[in-house]
Amino acid sequence: MDKEELKKDIDKNTPEENELNTQTTDNDITDQKSGDKDLDLEKKEEEKLTPEQELEILKDKLARTFAEMENQRRRFEKERDDAYEYGGYSFAKEALNLLDNLGRSKIALENDEKLKDSDALKKIVEHLDIINNDMLSIFKKNNIEPIKSINEKLDPNLHQAMMEVEDETKEPGTIVQEIQKGFMMKDRLLRPSLVGVSKKKVKDEQEEGQKDEKNQ
């Protein structure tokens, strides 16, 4: 057999050999996959929980569910109590405007030159005072109380400083003037008191500043 014939025979046999090799490789891959599936099944069987473990998991889920239900119940009760205790909160805030208008009316009448020192003015003022006191009494019955301001130290949670007033007799930050009365409804702020607070005189502040500079 010459070289050309040998080459032809090799060329003829090569595709068949390649096909056999491919089939062998595919079979090997299939066998490997089957082996992997068997291993996975064995692992899953090993990971199966015992009845005791399943019971513990169930108990834990039930405990979490009951805890969430209890939290929801407490939230509901708090919302219900707040609605009962503070149900008139918005109405009370509106009612304060009526109280303010009474006070403004009284001041306007007292400053009216035509009515000043007249019997008619005295009677009107008396009626306004009665209405004002009645409203404050109703507020008190509903746990609405005025905030103490005069001679108190400024509390940002209760008071809002609108101005400073020079006053040597008071410690700086002491409330010396009440512009608008504030109110609380139990532990809730209806509105803060608008106030004026004391401060040292300008001369005193300058002298203190000069002393500080000398000390430095």
Q: At 191, is the pLDDT very low, low, confident or very high (cuts 50, 70, 90)?
A: very high
Report, as an integer, the average pLDDT of 201-212.
61
Domain 145-216 carries which CATH code?
2.30.22.10
Cα dihedral 202, 205, 211, 216 sign: negative
* Positive/negative CA dihedral, 55, 56, 59, 64: negative
Q: Where are the domains of the chain?
A: 145-216
Highest mean pLDDT out of 22-26, 36-40, 195-199: 195-199
| Token pair for 114 | 């035509």
- Position 180 scores a pLDDT of 93
Range with the poorest average pLDDT among 38-47, 55-64, 194-203: 38-47
For residue 174, how many other CB atoms are within 10 A of its CB? 18
Q: How far apart are CA 169 and CA 156, in angstroms?
A: 22
Residue of 195, 153, 193, 200 lying closest to 173 (CA atoms): 153
Instruction: Quickly state the pLDDT bin for 18 (edges 50, 70, 90).
Output: very low
Q: Over 50: is that where the pLDDT of 6 sits?
A: no
pTM for the model stands at 0.55
Question: How large is the angle between the packed helices 119-141 and 89-110, nearest 10 degrees?
Answer: 160
For residue 136, CA distances in Å to 22, 70, 96, 117, 147 come to 100, 41, 10, 27, 12
Average pLDDT over residues 11-25: 50
CA distance 142 to 188: 13
